[in-house]
Structure 1
Amino acid sequence: MAPLRDCKAWQDAGLVLSTASNEACKLFDAVLTQYATWANDESLGGIEACLSKLKAADPNFTMGHVIANGLELIGTGNSVRLNKELDSAMRTMMMLSKSQPLTEREKLHVSALDMFASGRLPKACDLWEQILQSHPTDLLALKFSQDTYFYLGYHIQMRDSVARVYPFWTPDIPLSSYVKGYYSFGLVETNLFDRAEEVAREALAVSKTDAWSAHTIAHVHEMKAELKKGLEFMKETETNWKNSDVLACHNYWHWALYFIEKGEYEAALTIYDNHIAPRCLSSGSMLDIIDNSSMLYRLHLEGVKLGDRWKNILQLTKKHSRDHILLFNDVHILMSSLGAKDHKTTDELLTTLQELAKAPCEDHELSLAPSLGLPLCQAFVEFENGNCDKAVDLLYPIRYQLIQIGGSNAQRDVFSQLLIHAALNSKSQAKQNLARCLLRERDVMRPNSPMTERLIRKAIAVHSMA
């Protein structure tokens, strides 16, 4: 790893930091490195420890506050509406930024975070892009915008944002191979599978522990239903990415998806019990919670008995049922309350979301609740209550808009699976016919998918009984 950069090194890189403390500059680099590489690095002391040392090294270092608050906000488990401490930390950052001479770039960082905190995510991205136009190697602006585009479902922007700065990231710049990894993911999400795999493999050739680039290749095999290749890749590379504590749970989730696709449910549950559930229990992170709920729900759609697993995940999700930070989080929290048959939590989630959605606000996510979030949540509820026709009526009209609630194509596939299952189990001939149409569409997109074949066989059986 390159040595951590002091004041002069940041200045030489064209990314001046307004602090006289070399220690603060190095700790800022340590935090940024761990955020960019998706791992708490013990040799650097871990993100939390580095953040507290960073604050101590220079309490008035505005960019120190920017990276600390940004990580809180962009971790998606937090918002200033819910967290008084975070709200106060944001106010401190705003005050500091007004009381000292900052560079134009630093001022834009402060404004972008202010926009993000008030729920104006697209506007925050515009400001990060403004930074990148004049400072293409500002990794913090790049990574914050990447994550935010992901939450917005802006996949083309996610790809093109990196493409615009890509030529500036020469191999001599610290972490340049990770930028390849970000680019590869934008490529896979815009269905440029071969190029995505090529770029991800270039990144892995530089750093084999790059868990995000490994994750891109997992997506490529998932989207093409290349199960043998996917399973071999995960097995061969496991030791390289399993210590990336931020992404390991998610990569295991991808591994388990191949088994669900194949109909090998016991193998999927083994990965769940050994790797996904324990990591989620210890981290409590929203990304891990989403993986847990999503995986169990897919198995539930396949008719797999899950025992107490829903109750265990509900212990983590229950306290977030009123948060409503991202609609994508909400629907995964809902899966767990439906799975555990906790009607109180289900009602609480829906009624509090309805209330928040009524008030006019600048919050991008809440503005999508009436047209997308609520019908999607309601479709899950109707399906669980056996009202398959109603579930299809809610889900089918919004299927092409669901990209706006964020997540990856692989993550949102659970909504497509729900729609197919609801249509298949519907009493209506027209909806059963729709199910067959959706399966033909799926078959063209993912040839040789065993899951599609299973569902087509079910559709034929339903048809012959009708």
Structure 2
Amino acid sequence: MDRHAHVLSGTSDEAARHYERALSALLFFRGEVADEAQAMVAASPDSAMAHVFGAYLGLLGTEEKDAAAARRSFSAFRGAVDPAGLSPREQMHAAAAETWLEGNMLRAGEILGEISTESPRDALALAVGHQIDFFTGDAQRLRDRIGGALSSWDGDDPHFGPLLGMYAFGLEEAGHYGHAEEVGLQAVERHPRDVWGIHAVVHTYEMRGLFGEGIRYMDARTEDWTDGNYLSVHNAWHYALYALEAAASNASSASTTTLSTTRRRTPSPWNSWMPPPCCGGFSWSTSTSSPVGLPSPRLGPGVGTAPTTPSTMSTP
């Protein structure tokens, strides 16, 4: 079983340890995720969740060749395994991975949502589902998928911090900029190298036109977001956008250096993550007005109850 008592069929204790390390690396966008996932397969070749994890990684990278390799590998596993030997949660994960590999990302996200309803402390289902919501531009689900699960988590759990970072990004994409900043700062306070939490805070400043504040925020934690993670280049684009929008020539020069440095420090093979639609073009993004912020829900005892106001996805 994993640390939250989810069944890991065909998985040795050694492989389970690799699973936990791979999951933590995924939540924090760290480069060791691929090595840990491969080590899990090597330790337990019959582990369903090892193969599911590998399939998700091949898809999250958004590279066609990686997705094709994941499809071949996962198809071979599916052909050799008896589904009856898997737990219901594992069967649903396998179905989600297979559905996405076949090209139906939206349905895969729905299946992952069903897993989260039944097993709200399944961090893998939440994280992968969150990225699908991001890829498909579903602001409401970005907010509500994570918001609906948070009340099932212990605030002392080491994965609660990155979940707050995800929730912050969902709040921001749904237009709750002030509250998104508040929750994102909580996430980063828990884990200074939570680059998705940093990314969420960065978005809140962008959408409110607080470019100088955004530059100061990123400058204050440069080492936290530039080194050894899959989001460093993407966050450097945000820094460059700030510099252009603030018309700060010194910062613009610095952003060029930062972008070059982070490209060199970003681990392979995901140095292109995130996909271009999130980044937008400089000229397009800098000419787009920020939408009016919506009323902020409060994060408290009823954190799992998400607001239902309409939303507008941000483009940077």
In structure 1, the partner of 2:13 is 22
Q: Residue 108 and residue 283 in structure 1: after superposition, are their counterparts in 2 closer, same or farther (change >3 A)? A: same
What is the count of residue pairs matched by the alignment? 293
Matches within 5 A, 1:229-268: 229-265=213-249, 267-268=251-252
Does 2:116 correspond to 1:132? Answer: yes
TM-superposed deviation, 1:16: 1.2
1:377-416 → structure 2 map (5 Å cutoff): 407-408=277-278, 411-412=279-280, 414=282, 416=284
**Alignment match, 1:77:** 63
* Aligned CA distance change for structure 1 residues 99 and 105 (closer, same or farther; 3 Å): closer
SS at match of 2:6: coil
Query: Which residue of structure 1 lines up, in the alignment, with residue 203 of structure 2?
Result: 219
* CA–CA separation in structure 1 for the residues paired with 2:59 and 2:134: 14
Q: 1:48 aligns with which of 11, 34, 50?
A: 34
Aligned with residue 32 of structure 1, among 18, 23, 27: 23
**Equivalent residue for 2:86?**
102
- Residues 196/277 of structure 1: CA separation in 2 closer, same or farther (3 Å cut): same
Give 1:158's aligned residue: 142
- After superposition, give the CA deviation of every residue in 1:285-322 in whole Å (9 maximum; x if it has no partner): 6975488xxxxxxxxxxxxxxxxxxxxxxxxxxxxxxx
User: For residues 229-279 of structure 1, what are the alpha-carbon distances to aligned partners after superposition, in whole Å with 9 as ceiling and x for unaligned?
Assistant: 11111111212222242122222221121110022356324422x232354
Aligned to 2:45: 59
- Counterpart in 2 of 1:277? 260
Between Structure 1 and Structure 2, which shows a larger proportion of helix residues? Answer: 1
Equivalent positions of 1:165-204 (< 5 A) are: 165-204=149-188
Q: CA RMSD in A?
A: 2.7
Question: Tell me, what secondary structure is at the counterpart of 1:267?
Answer: helix
User: Hey, what's the Cα distance between the residues in 2 that align with 1:73 and 1:231?
Assistant: 32
TM-score scaled by length of structure 2: 0.83
2:227–2:262 contact (8 Å) kept in structure 1: no
Q: Is the 8 A contact 2:229 2:267 kept in 1?
A: no
Q: Contact 2:146 / 2:167 at 8 angstroms: preserved in 1?
A: yes
8 Å CA contact 1:76, 1:286 repeated in 2: no
1:342 matched residue in structure 2? none
Alignment of 1:287-366 (within 5 A): 288-289=271-272
Contact 2:230-2:267 within 8 A present in 1 as well: no
The TM-score, its normalising length taken from structure 1, stands at 0.58
Tell me the secondary structure at the aligned position of residue 106 of structure 1.
helix
Identity of aligned residues (%): 23
CA contact (8 A) 2:126 2:146 kept: yes
Q: In the aligned structure 2, how far is the partner of 1:205 from the partner of 1:242?
A: 17
Structure-1 separation of matches of 2:174 and 2:49: 33
The alpha carbon displacement at 1:222 in A equals: 0.9
Q: Which amino acid aligns with 2:56?
A: G
Q: 5+ unaligned residues in a row in structure 2: which ranges? A: 294-316
Amino acid at match of 1:72: G
The amino acid of 1:55's aligned partner reads V
Q: Aligned in 2, Cα 1:277/1:60: closer, same or farther, shift over 3 Å? A: same
Return the index of the structure with the highest Cα Rg: 1
What is the deviation of 1:217? 1.3
RCO higher in structure (CA 8 A, sep ≥6):
2
Deviation at 1:13, TM superposition (A): 2.1
Indicate conservation of the 8 Å contact 1:73/1:79, yes or no: no
Q: Indicate how the Cα distance of structure 1 residues 203 and 279 shifts in structure 2: closer, same or farther if over 3 A, else same.
A: closer
Give the deviation of 1:20 after TM superposition: 4.7
Question: 2: distance between equivalents of 1:69 and 1:23?
Answer: 20
Distance 2:265 2:112 in 1: 33
2:125 counterpart (123, 141, 165): 141
In the TM superposition, what is the alpha-carbon distance from 1:86 to its structure 2 partner? Answer: 2.7
Distance change (3 Å), C-alpha of 1:289 and 1:269:
farther
Retained in 2: the 8 A contact 1:209–1:241? Answer: yes
Cα separation, partners in 2 of 1:443 and 1:98, compared to 1, 3 Å: closer
SS of 1:245's equivalent in the other structure is coil
Tell me how far apart the structure 1 counterparts of residues 209 and 65 of structure 2 sit (CA, whole Å).
37
Letter matched to residue 238 of structure 1: T
Q: 1:427 is matched with which residue?
A: none
